Amino acid sequence: MSIADKRCFNHPDREVAIRCPECGRFYCRECTSEYHDRFLCKTCLDSLGTVIEKQRTSFWRLLKPGVGFISGFILSWLLFYGLAQIIYTIPAYFHSGIIQHEEKK
């Protein structure tokens, strides 16, 4: 039986345009969609969308702790850097324990 004799899985009165590479069934042009340079049936395309969404979700779930750690590290570094800049502006005589007072004339 040649491909010309095949009929669409969803529409038995229509001729076949492609064979879905995922499920192996034959479909007419209306029942397929192009996805990354290949034609897939709606069922396989929907199942791929679910898999891709799950991969995206798991990727962000794994990425969250790393982003939290890096942002916490940067925030801590900025806090201590700002504190060091404030301490650096304090005059040297203050650190030695001798506070000099200017005499008023």
* pLDDT at 77 (0 to 100): 96
Residue 100: predicted pLDDT:
60
- Residue 104 pLDDT greater than 60, yes or no: no
Strands (E), 1-105: 18-19, 26-27, 32-35, 38-41
Domain boundaries, the chain: 3-88
Answer whether 9's CB lies under 8 Å from 26's CB: yes
Total-model pTM: 0.43
Residues 16-75: pLDDT tens digits? 888 888 888 888 888 888 877 888 888 888 777 656 655 566 677 777 888 889 999 999
pLDDT value of position 75: 96
